[in-house]
Amino acid sequence: MSIVSDPARPRHTRKVLLLAAALLLGGALCAAAIALFVIFFAGHERGAGTAQALPASPAVVAARTEHQRPVAPENAKDILFGDLHVHTTFSGDAFLMSLPIVQGEGAHPPADACDYARICSGLDFWSITDHAEFVDEHRWAETKAAVRQCNAISGQADHPDLVTYLGWEWTQVGLTPESHFGHKNVIFLDQDDSKVPTRPIAASGDIFEVDPWAFPNPLTFIATPLLDFAHRQEYFDFIRFVREVEAVPNCPEGVDVHDLPTSCREVAGTPDALFAKLDQWGFESLVIPHGTTWGLYTPPGYTFDKSLKKTNHDPDRQSLIEVFSGHGNSETFRDWRDIAWDATGNPVCPAPRRDYEPCCWRAGDIVRSRCGDLPRGECDRRVEKAKIDFLLSGAAGHNAVPGTAVEDWGNCGQCTDCFDPSFNYRPGGSAQYALALTNFDDDANPARFHFGFLASSDNHSARPGTGYKEYARQEMTESAGQRDKTVYEGTSMRQGPKTPTSEAIVPGRSEVPYAMLADTERQASFFMTGGLVGVHAASRDRQAIWDGLKRREVYGTSGDRILLWFDLQNGPGGTVLPMGSKIHLGEPPKFKVRAVGALEQLPGCPTWSADRITPERLARLCANECFNPGTRRHRITRIEVIRIRPQATKGEDIARLIEDPWKSFPCADSDTGVCEVQFDDASFPTDGRDSVYYVRAIQEPTPAVNAGGLRCQEWDENGVCTAVKPCYGDYRTPYEDDCVAPNEERAWSSPIYVDR
DSSP 607-648: GGGGGTS-HHHHHHHHTT----EEEEEPPEEEEEEEEE---S
Q: Does pLDDT of 709 surpass 50? A: yes
Q: Residues, the chain, total? A: 756
Confirm if 600 and 469 have CB atoms less than 8 A apart. Answer: no
CA distance 743 to 708: 8
In the prediction, which pLDDT does 66 show? 84
Cβ-proximal residues to 148 (8 Å cutoff; 6+ apart), any chain: 191
**Listed residue (236, 230, 258, 261) closest to 248, CA to CA:** 261
> How far apart (Å, rounded) are the C-alpha atoms in residues 581 and 338?
35
597-641 residue pLDDT tens: 999 999 999 999 999 999 999 999 999 999 999 999 999 999 999
**What phi and psi values does residue 746 have, to the nearest 5 degrees?**
-155, 170
CA 519-523-526 angle, 5° bins: 165
Average pLDDT over residues 661-684: 92
* Range scoring the smallest mean pLDDT among 52-66, 119-133, 458-472, 645-659: 52-66
* Measured distance CA(9)–CA(213) in Å, rounded: 47
Q: Give just the sign of the alpha carbon dihedral 608, 609, 613, 619.
A: negative
CA distance 271 to 288: 12
Q: How far is C-alpha 4 from the chain's CA centre?
A: 61
Nearby residues of 100 by Cβ (< 8 Å), 6 or more positions away: 106, 228, 231, 234, 483
Answer yes or no: is pLDDT of 27 > 90: no
577 touches 568 (CB < 8 A): yes
Sign of the C-alpha dihedral, residues 278, 284, 290, 292? positive
d(CA 535, CA 550): 10
What is the rounded average pLDDT of the residues 201-216? 56
pLDDT at 246 (0 to 100): 85
Question: SS3 string of 465-512?
Answer: CHHHCCCCHHHHCCCCCCCCHHHHHHCCCCCCCCCCCCCCCCCCCCCC
Position 423 pLDDT exceeds 90: yes
pLDDT confidence band for 708 (50 / 70 / 90): very high
The Cα–Cα gap between 276 and 281 comes to 9
Distance CA 744, CA 527 (A): 16
**Interatomic CA distance for residues 299 and 173, integer angstroms:** 9
- Predicted local confidence at residue 18, as pLDDT: 53
Torsion of CA 92, 97, 102, 108, to 10 degrees: -110
The segment(s) of the chain belonging to CATH 3.20.20.140 are 58-335+427-479+527-707+736-755
Topology annotation, domain 58-335+427-479+527-707+736-755 = TIM Barrel (3.20.20)
The stretch 738-742 carries a mean pLDDT of: 96
Mean pLDDT calculated for residue range 191-210: 80
Output b/e per residue, 522-547; b: 16+ Cβ within 10 A: bbbbbbbbbbbbbbbbeebbbebbbb
User: What is d(CA 363, CA 52) in angstroms, rounded to the nearest whole number?
Assistant: 51
How many C-beta atoms lie closer than 10 Å to residue 459's C-beta?
29
Chain centroid to CA 363: how far? 26
β-bridge mates for residue 126, sequence order: 83, 164
DSSP at 447: B
- What CA–CA distance (Å, rounded) separates 121 from 115? 9
Of the candidates 294, 276, 293, 297, the one whose C-alpha atom is nearest the C-alpha of residue 208 is 297
Say yes or no to pLDDT of 139 above 50: yes
Dihedral sign, Cα of residue 648, residue 298, residue 238, residue 706: negative
Do residues 573 and 587 touch, judged by C-beta distance below 8 A? no
Mean pLDDT, residues 126-151 taken together: 96
Residue 727, burial from CB neighbour count under 10 angstroms (0-12, 13-18, 19+): buried
pLDDT for residue 2: 36
User: Coil, helix or strand for 735?
Assistant: coil
Relative to beta strand 125-128, strand 163-171 is: parallel
Weakest-pLDDT range from 12-21, 460-469, 567-576, 709-718: 12-21
Closest CA to 361 of 333, 332, 400, 330: 400
Residue type, 272: D
Question: Residues 74-132: pLDDT tens digits?
Answer: 678 999 999 999 999 999 999 999 999 889 999 999 999 999 999 999 999 999 999 99
Write down the pLDDT at residue 15.
53
684, amino acid identity: F
Confidence label for 490 from pLDDT (cuts 50, 70 and 90)? low
203-217, 311-325, 453-467, 490-504: range with lowest mean pLDDT: 203-217
- Any alpha helices (H) in 596-752, and if so which ranges? 615-622, 684-687
pLDDT at 210 over 60: no
Average pLDDT, the chain: 89
- The amino acid occupying position 746 is R
Residue 71 has pLDDT above 70, yes or no: no
Cα end-to-end distance, the chain, whole Å: 90
Please say whether the beta carbons of 90 and 139 come within 8 A: yes
**Confidence check: pLDDT of 70 > 80:** no
Q: Determine which helix (DSSP H) or strand (DSSP E) holds 741, and give its type and residue range.
A: strand 740-743
3-state secondary structure of 274: helix
Give me the sign of the Cα torsion angle 383, 389, 392, 395.
Answer: negative
Average pLDDT over residues 377-390: 96
Question: Cα separation of 661 and 314, whole Å?
Answer: 30
Contacts of 263 (CB under 8 A, 6+ apart): 136, 137, 248
Contacts for 662 with CB less than 8 Å, ≥ 6 apart: 641, 642, 643, 693
Q: What's the one-letter identity of residue 459? A: N
**Helix, coil or strand: residue 152:** helix
Say if residue 240's pLDDT is above 60.
Answer: yes
Question: Where are the strands (E) in 200-290, listed by range?
Answer: 201-203, 266-268, 285-290
Percent of the chain with pLDDT over 70: 88
